[in-house]
């Protein structure tokens, strides 16, 4: 019923021959792949394959020793987190990184941080631009709250929420930044079946409604195969597969990596 033809467009992110090492430990070795506009791109692999490192390279937390990153035509050796955020890349974290004592609403508002132009003094006396901005930002945040169906916890401190909902709040904060690319680090880890289904639906809805490009890391093969357009498979820091879910499923190297191989 739902259409899976998405409007995959031009390549907006290309990683070429990326290698990353921590001292003697090689986290990523000579990895190249690209991400097209509006697609859902999954990175999968066994534990320690380098998935999170890959994501950290994309948004500039790690700086690779070799290789180049081309984002929207601009080629660089590495990104940095501020520049990444300013250029429309938002992310969520494997271990939820929210302000536990703050309400859901306030947490999501922090996602609008980069959109606020008024200065500290203007905000303190709450006039003119500061007031307008706050109203405008609040409206955007309310749209996200509505979109992710978390109206009932708007005023609840995040620390009191169950894990599945916290994950949703984190997604909400990332969405509030109106990103053009969203990096999701294991959005469904530790969730039960129902929460996973909800999350899948939200990821697809976000992609459909806002055309947001998604790069997601996921453990659950079923989930990945259902919702992604293309999949990159990593194993011990190397790329062993790349293609549509069907292609990857048929790839012998991938099967070996996941199911083990007789030596």
Instruction: Report if residue 142 touches another protein, rule: CB under 8 A.
Output: yes
Q: Which of residues 155-184 bind another protein (CB under 8 A)?
A: 155
Helix (H, G, I), strand (E, B) or coil at 248: helix
H-run or E-run covering 44 = strand 40-44
Residue 122 vs residues 102, 105, 129, 131: alpha-carbon distances, Å? 23, 22, 7, 9
Q: Which of residues 79-118 bind another protein (CB under 8 A)?
A: none
- For the bound state, the minimum distance from the C-beta of residue 3 to another protein, rounded and expressed in Å, comes to 4
Which of residues 14, 197, 225, 255 is near another protein by CB under 8 A?
197
CB atoms within 10 A of CB 137: 18
Instruction: Report if residue 139 touches another protein, rule: CB under 8 A.
Output: yes
Instruction: Report if residue 205 touches another protein, rule: CB under 8 A.
Output: yes
Question: Is the Cβ of residue 149 or residue 247 nearer to another protein in the bound state?
Answer: 149
Question: Is the Cβ of residue 82 or residue 201 nearer to another protein in the bound state?
Answer: 201
Which of residues 154, 238, 249, 253 is near another protein by CB under 8 A?
154
Question: Using CB under 8 A, which of the segments 22-30, 31-39, 48-56, 148-156 binds another protein?
Answer: 148-156
Selection from 37, 31, 34, 38 nearest residue 17 by Cα: 31
The dihedral built from the CA positions of residue 171, 217, 202 and 220, taken in this order, carries a sign that is negative
Selection from 174, 112, 129 nearest residue 148 by Cα: 174
- For the bound state, the minimum distance from the C-beta of residue 110 to another protein, rounded and expressed in Å, comes to 17
Are 208 and 185 a contacting pair, CB within 8 Å?
no
Instruction: Report if residue 209 touches another protein, rule: CB under 8 A.
Output: yes
Question: Is the Cβ of residue 1 or residue 125 nearer to another protein in the bound state?
Answer: 1
Residues 258, 256: Cα–Cα separation, whole Å: 5
Instruction: Report if residue 151 touches another protein, rule: CB under 8 A.
Output: yes
- For the bound state, the minimum distance from the C-beta of residue 149 to another protein, rounded and expressed in Å, comes to 7
Strands 89-92 and 181-185: parallel
Helix (H, G, I), strand (E, B) or coil at 179: coil
Instruction: Report if residue 147 touches another protein, rule: CB under 8 A.
Output: yes
**Where do contacts with another protein occur on this chain (CB under 8 A)?**
1-3, 138-139, 142-143, 145-147, 149, 151-152, 154-155, 197, 201, 204-205, 208-209
């Amino acid at each position: 019923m739902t259409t899976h033809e998405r409007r995959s467009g031009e390549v907006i992110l290309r990683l070429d021959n990326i290698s990353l090492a921590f001292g003697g430990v090689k986290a990523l070795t000579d990895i190249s792949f690209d991400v097209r506009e509006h697609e859902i791109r999954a990175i999968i692999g066994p534990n320690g394959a380098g998935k999170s490192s890959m994501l950290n390279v994309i948004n500039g937390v790690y700086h690779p020793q070799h290789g180049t990153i081309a984002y929207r035509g601009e080629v660089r050796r590495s990104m940095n987190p501020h520049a990444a955020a300013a250029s429309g890349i938002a992310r969520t974290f494997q271990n939820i990184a929210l302000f536990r004592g703050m309400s859901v609403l306030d947490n999501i508002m922090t996602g609008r941080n980069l959109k606020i132009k008024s200065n500290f003094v203007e905000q303190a006396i709450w006039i003119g631009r500061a007031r307008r901005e706050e109203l405008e930002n609040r409206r955007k945040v309310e749209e996200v709250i509505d979109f992710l169906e978390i109206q009932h916890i708007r005023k609840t401190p995040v620390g009191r929420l169950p894990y599945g909902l916290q994950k949703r709040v984190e997604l909400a904060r990332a969405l509030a930044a109106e990103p053009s690319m969203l990096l999701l680090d294991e959005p469904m880890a530790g969730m039960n079946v129902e929460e996973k289904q909800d999350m899948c639906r939200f990821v697809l809805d976000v992609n459909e409604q806002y055309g947001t490009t998604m790069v997601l890391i996921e453990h659950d093969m079923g989930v990945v195969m259902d919702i992604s357009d293309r999949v990159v498979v990593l194993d011990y820091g190397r790329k062993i597969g790349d293609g549509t879910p069907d292609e990857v499923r048929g790839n012998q190297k991938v099967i070996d990596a996941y199911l083990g191989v007789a030596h």
